[in-house]
Chain A
Amino acid sequence: DAGITQSPRHKVTETGTPVTLRCHQTENHRYMYWYRQDPGHGLRLIHYSYGVKDTDKGEVSDGYSVSRSKTEDFLLTLESATSSQTSVYFCAISESRTGYREAFFGQGTRLTVV
């Protein structure tokens, strides 16, 4: 498995509180992604990064912000958590040196907002 670790693995938080999820990689891959997975919606892209301090919005970015201050870490912040943000969050990494962009996923973080 690619060296990618998400933390925490599980979290329960209250509505209105800020939450930060961390994705850490040891592969030195250029691209990092945050997805959320909900039944019937598949994997929806929240934000992604194409380099240090280079990020862009995905399909469902409202209510989320990200930061990447170094290659190995990509942080996802829920500025004020809402119940609609209860989901499983996956981080993924990829490198496109060869033209392929196989994405490797982390184990996922199950977030519950009560």
Chain B
Amino acid sequence: GENVEQHPSTLSVQEGDSAVIKCTYSDSASNYFPWYKQELGKRPQLIIDIRSNVGEKKDQRIAVTLNKTAKHFSLHITETQPEDSAVYFCAAGAQGGKLIFGQGTELSVKP
């Protein structure tokens, strides 16, 4: 069945450094790739998303890249801040509405 693999499971960086989280997906019909941030005890919330006809998208300090041929996409956070500390999830969505998430990455930004 459809699968989304996410790495690393934990990531620790110094404030100001960059953080990169990578995901691969198995369903070639996937055409929508969102990223969610979940703070402790809260619900996941969308931070950025990309469609399959776009290779890269940027929003201030966060960017997402997509390689459809290789079936992988990545989240890049630059100039990290302590408030970026959270669990990040990638997901892949296909026609028909199915939305599969990766296992999550716990990002810790040390002051």
Where the two chains meet, the residues of A that have a C-beta atom closer than 8 Å to any C-beta of B are 30-31, 33, 35, 40-45, 48, 50, 56, 58-59, 90, 92, 94, 96, 99-103, 105-108
Which residue of chain B has its CB nearest to the CB of A39? B104
B44 A105 Cβ-Cβ under 8 A: yes
Besides the known contacts A50-B96, A59-B100, 18 further A-B residue pairs in the complex with CB atoms under 8 A apart: A30-B97, A40-B9, A42-B102, A42-B103, A43-B44, A43-B89, A48-B98, A48-B99, A58-B100, A90-B43, A94-B99, A100-B51, A101-B97, A101-B99, A102-B46, A105-B45, A106-B43, A107-B43
B99 A33 Cβ-Cβ under 8 A: yes
B46 A103 Cβ-Cβ under 8 A: yes
A55 to B93, CA, bound (A): 16
| List of 9 A-B pairs having minimum Cβ-Cβ separation, nearest first | A42-B103, A43-B101, A105-B43, A42-B104, A31-B97, A50-B97, A101-B93, A102-B46, A42-B101
The answer, yes or no, to whether B6 is at the interface (CB within 8 Å) is: yes
A53 to B43, CA, bound (A): 27
Count, A-B residue pairs, CB within 8 A = 63
The answer, yes or no, to whether B1 is at the interface (CB within 8 Å) is: yes
A96 B97 Cβ-Cβ under 8 A: yes
A105 to B42, CA, bound (A): 10
Please tell me which one of the listed residues A45, A56, A90, A101 contacts residue B44 in the complex, with CB atoms under 8 A apart.
Answer: A90
Given that A42-B102, A56-B98, A59-B100 are known contacts, is A103 also in contact with B34, CB under 8 Å in the complex?
yes
Distance from B41 Cβ to chain A, minimum over Cβ atoms (Å)? 9
**Which chain A residues border B34 with CB–CB below 8 Å?**
101-103
Distance from A3 Cβ to chain B, minimum over Cβ atoms (Å)? 14
**Which chain A residues border B44 with CB–CB below 8 Å?**
43, 90, 105
**Which chain B residues border A44 with CB–CB below 8 Å?**
101
Distance from A42 Cβ to chain B, minimum over Cβ atoms (Å)? 4
